[in-house]
Structure 1
Amino acid sequence: MSEAKSTVPGRNAPVAAIDLGATSGRVMLGELVDGKVVLTQVHRFANGAVPLSSFEATAAPDALAWDLDELWTQIRHGLALAFAQRPDIASIGVDSWAVDYALLKDGQRLGQVRHYRDPRNERAVAQLEKTFPRSELFGRNGLQFLPFNTIYQLEAERGDTRLALADTLLLVPDYINWLLTGVKGAERTNASTTGLLDVNTGTWDAQLAKHLGVDHILPQVLGPGVTVGTLLPELAAQLGAAGNVAVIAVASHDTASAVVAAPLASAHAAYVSCGTWGLVGVELPAPVLTQAARAAGFTNEMGLDSTVRLLKNVTGTWLLSESIRYWNLHSAPGDTVSLEELLPVVEALDAPNVLIDPAQERFMAPGDIPERIVAAVMEAGGARPTSREQILRIILDSLASSFAFEAFAAGAQGGFKPETIHMVGGGSQSALLCQLTADRSGVPVVAGPVECTALGNVLVQLRTLSGESWSLADMRTLVRDSVAMEHYVPRGVSAAISGN
């Protein structure tokens, strides 16, 4: 059951989803039409890291930030276009990437929102862990160690003037909600990525927050499905809204929204949310805080309806896109290639005898990914790949093997073997990747939806507006009724890891 029922009129009216990713953002319309959810993209815009020195002349040359003012301009433009199409929009929901935050003082933002890849964060890890060892932190927050988690960012900022002045800390989607409504809050699924949320109680960790100097500036935690407020009247007039528009706290961590729309048909299913990064995991009723889970690199993040997303961050389609980019960068004019052009030959190749570990540090930075892959294959005793197609086949088989292995590892932490793997997000469009994942895992792969994050955002809004007690199972049935899925059956069992 949703945590709050909306009093907003227009149960069958459309909703607007603001979906902010690390490389792009968009504004989408979503509505129920003949028992199906229909999504329409209204506006798409670029996003990415910006040197902090672009805003602050005295900033370190390697410091990174987000241009939140430009994002806010693009969001308003997208919403204006949406209201021009559908003045009867009943609500707005925001999801975004995790961990980054804005600091406010008297209703004004203090400086820029720093980027999670800012080098200052890694320098703060050892300092925080003098007081809170890594093993203890896992017991408190259930998160895998990542140097860009919010707690390390705050440790890096502790003692700075900005943090000392602040009276409010808002994560990115909560900051956008505040700009829309003037109401402050912290949506739970995104708050669970900070390291500041107690994994057992779902409330702020008072001791850790006090150590970091933020205990007095953290807002109230809100569950997904709560109506934060209504669109500010002056903003509503600027955007062309026809009446009162609710702003609803959706599952505002983008992965949480994606998993809402992952059409898991049973409790023994795994998911892969596949884009530049892959997030592989299972949905559980409670966190797994064992040392085995910590050692394996799993993280516990809150999901809709008090679920826990036990997952692992792995490399996704980055190796493919960066290889194509590198080849094209060093190609003669008119001699560029696309993945789609190469795939027919790639698919016809035999499976490689030697795979790579996509998570190796050597593959993280941009550059000559293809040559790094060649080196890794040869170091493992394989023959030197001699064509672009061979390199791409090695990447695809290696990604599939990684997804299969981590899906079963996550299932094992939950006490079961996955019966199905659901591939959602952009990676679900790759038929070969989906088929190879089925082959490597020995279980069926169900591909789709592609627009899972925006769809999950819309579903939470529609549930809140309807006032109905839709369960997660009900919402996923609606997804299956709304989106065409592709099904991939394992070919043989020689490479399967499922034990079937």
Structure 2
Amino acid sequence: MDSKNSHSTQQAGPLVFDVPQPDDLDEIFGIASGAHPLSDFEEDAAPEALAWDLDELWAKIRHGLGLAFARRPDIASIGVDSWAVDYALLREGHRLGQVRHYRDPRNERAVEHLELTFARSELFSRNGLQFLPFNTIYQLEAERADGRLARADTLLLVPDYINWLLTGVLGAERTNASTTGLLDARTGAWDPELANHLGVAGTLPQLVEPGSTVGTLRPELAAEFGAPGSVDVIAVASHDTASAVAAAPLTTGHSAYVSCGTWGLVGVELPAPVLTEDARLGGFTNEIGLDSTVRLLKNVTGTWLLSESIRYWNQNAAPDGQITLESLLPAAAALESPGILIDPAAERFLAPGDVPGRICAAVLEAGGTEPESREQVLRIILESLAASFAAQAFSAAGLGGFTPDAIHLVGGGSQSELLCQLTADKSGVEVVAGPVECTALGNVLVQLRAHGGEDWDMGRMRQLVRNSVQLQYFAPRGAGPIA
């Protein structure tokens, strides 16, 4: 399962399977899911509490797998990737309640409590992660106030939970484990002091390397899906960004990348973590990638501002009919560059709702003129995203000791020629756009490598992507690089 992050309307992407070449990749079934009030499931839940409906998601995964096996009975393996940080708690093989959503406001309240014991600077020196209030460690600090954490005997991140449902085998795939804050950035092992403090020392499974076989599909599921023989479940790089970067067609060690969906993950690939104070103050994170690489990146806002603005306009503009991003972009592209940009990562833009109104307010507060049209709002968003991507790509590369020679923009955002061109203009370096389904390709390529019996390094995987996918190139228009 390849899942793309979203906010109020999480869109899970295609179920993907081991196939011979990336250009043979077919989307079988798309899964839409999103945040639900916890009160939908628990009568006494706080009204603001949020959760995922994992039971519905699992039912849809099973449906999609049935469709996939009906089309290709010879499927050899399944790989699961998803968003990071969220987890299921189990006791004796049964899930304890719902999987809470990373946007649950309880996480914000837990930050101060955890940092009474572990200062933010100490946490970074341990786990190398950018401070984000929804990191798993803050969720677990909030969880300590509830009774279910004390009752749990197993904690599984979302893709590991799906793997367990598929196979009955417990494990914690390393790339996703590195997003929790519980992994020691220097040793690559669970941090015992943090785990003990948070009460999960006995619940964390053994770490699993991407590319290893988790187990085989449960017989009852194989019968349900119509699988004729043994089907492996492979531990891919199960954090969706790790899969995306594994397949990003980087040509040199000095290329930066932007994995752009709802979130924008902007960074570089390095052989070792950067745990300096400059990296911490810059808001950068060190996450493990395929083959023990380190993804030094910053988690910034991506296409969320666009999708949430469209959603809000449609919700509140019935007389105008259905509004689409595609219908507004040509006029937005024809506009002059706005004089005032916004900080897309500002806290005021994180929650669902009147994002366009908040953007207008931010422009006015900065001394600009209030946008008069939807197209102007979209142009401000796109210019601001491009400026953010360019600045963070250069910052990440600088922390790695080099200047980027190109920026590879992959994921859904790579479909916007305007966003790609603006990013090239603001960075002063070439932007290479595509592939769109980079996460799915990374998922499949790790499965292919696991079955191939050959020693594929990422260079060979990326060359296969370059040979199989049509990329677009955007040269900068204007003066040199921002550095």
Query: TM bucket by the smaller chain?
Result: over 0.9
Question: Cα offset for 1:297?
Answer: 0.4
SS at match of 2:413: helix
**Whole-Å Cα distance in 1 between the matches of residues 293 and 462 of structure 2?**
14
Is residue 151 from structure 1 mapped to residue 137 from structure 2 by the alignment?
yes
Match of 2:326 among 340, 343, 348: 340
Q: What CA RMSD, in Å, does the superposition of the two structures yield over aligned residues?
A: 1.6
Distance 2:278 2:430 in 1: 27
Partner of 1:381: 367
Instruction: Give the letter aligned to residue 106 of structure 2.
Output: R
Listed as ranges, the matches of 1:353-364 within 5 Å are: 353-364=339-350
What is the CA–CA distance in structure 2 between the aligned matches of 1:240 and 1:367, rounded to whole Å?
44
In the superposition, relative to structure 1, how do residues 478 and 422 fare at CA in structure 2: closer, same or farther (>3 Å)? Answer: same
Aligned partner of residue 197 in structure 1, secondary structure: coil
- Please report the TM-score for the alignment, with normalisation by the length of structure 1: 0.93
Matched, 1:497 2:482: yes
Q: Does 1:258 align with 2:244?
A: yes
The 2-side partners of 1:112 and 1:387 are apart by: 41
CA contact (8 A) 1:18 1:92 kept: no
1:350-499, aligned counterparts within 5 Å?
Answer: 350-493=336-479, 496-498=481-483
Report which stretch shifted further, 187-196 or 144-153: 144-153
Q: Distance in 1 between matches of 2:103 and 2:331?
A: 37
The 3 A distance-change label for structure 1 pair 182 and 309 is same
Structure 2 counterpart SS, 1:43: coil
Report deviation, 1:433.
0.6
The reply to whether residue 137 of structure 1 matches residue 119 of structure 2 is no
Write the distance in 2 (CA, Å) between the matches of 1:69 and 1:480: 38
The answer as to whether partners of 1:26 and 1:78 remain within 8 angstroms in 2 is no
Residue in structure 1 matching 2:173, options 187, 199, 206: 187
Mark the CA change 1:52 to 1:373 in structure 2 (over 3 Å): closer, same or farther.
closer
Q: Matched residue of 1:154: which SS?
A: helix
Measured in 2, the distance between the counterparts of 1:91 and 1:354 equals 50
Is 1:213 paired with 2:199? yes
* 1:24 partnered with 2:11: yes
Q: Provide the secondary structure at the position in 2 that maps to 1:40.
A: coil
Q: In 2, distance between residues paired with 1:193 and 1:29?
A: 23
Change (3 A) 1:103 1:335: closer
Q: Secondary structure at the match of 1:402?
A: helix
3-state SS of 2:287 partner: strand
CA distance, structure 2, for counterparts of residue 78 and residue 131 of structure 1: 45
Residue matched to 2:312: 326
The amino acid across from 2:231 in the alignment is V
Give the deviation of 1:350 after TM superposition: 1.9
Query: Partners in 2 of 1:164 and 1:31 — Cα distance?
Result: 39
Structure 2 unaligned regions, length at least 5: none
Matched, 1:303 2:289: yes
- Aligned position for 2:218: 232
Shift in CA distance, 345/468, structure 1 to aligned 2, threshold 3 Å: same
SS at match of 2:25: strand
Q: Which amino acid aligns with 1:165?
A: R
The DSSP-based 3-state class of the residue aligned with 1:41 is coil
1:497 maps to amino acid: I
Name 1:14's counterpart in structure 2: none
**Partner of residue 49 from structure 1, selected from 19, 26, 35:** 35
User: Residues 127-173 of structure 1, C-alpha deviation per residue, up to 9 Å, x if partnerless?
Assistant: 11111111101000000111111111111122533111211111111
Letter in 2 for 1:483: V
Residue identity over aligned pairs, in percent, reads 71
> Quick check: 1:248 aligned with 2:231?
no
Instruction: Give how far 1:378 is off.
Output: 2.9
Distance (whole Å) between structure 1 residues aligned to residue 100 and residue 377 of structure 2: 36
Equivalent position of 2:53 in the other structure: 67
Rounded to whole Å, the distance in 1 between the matches of 2:145 and 2:318 is 52
Number of corresponding residues: 480
Describe the shift of the 1:386–1:52 C-alpha distance in structure 2 as closer, same or farther (beyond 3 A). closer
> Aligned partners of 2:31 and 2:89: how far apart in 1?
24
Displacement of 1:375 after TM fit?
2.6
Secondary structure of 2:286 counterpart: strand
Give the secondary structure class of the aligned counterpart of 2:116.
coil
Q: Structure 1 stretches of 5 or more lacking a match?
A: 1-16
The structure that is strand-richer by fraction is 1
Aligned partner of 1:113 in structure 2 is 99
Q: Describe the superposition over 1:57-81 as per-residue Cα deviations: whole angstroms up to 9, x where unpaired.
A: 1211111111111111111110011
Equivalent in the alignment of 2:62 = 76
Inter-CA distance 359–233: structure 2 relative to 1 (3 Å threshold): same
Aligned twin of 2:260:
274
Any idea what the Cα deviations from partners look like across 1:19-51, whole Å, max 9, x if unmatched?
464512244344555x55421111112111111
Residues 37, 478 of structure 1: 8 Å contact kept = no
483-492 vs 53-62, which moves further: 53-62
> Which residue is equivalent to 2:111?
125
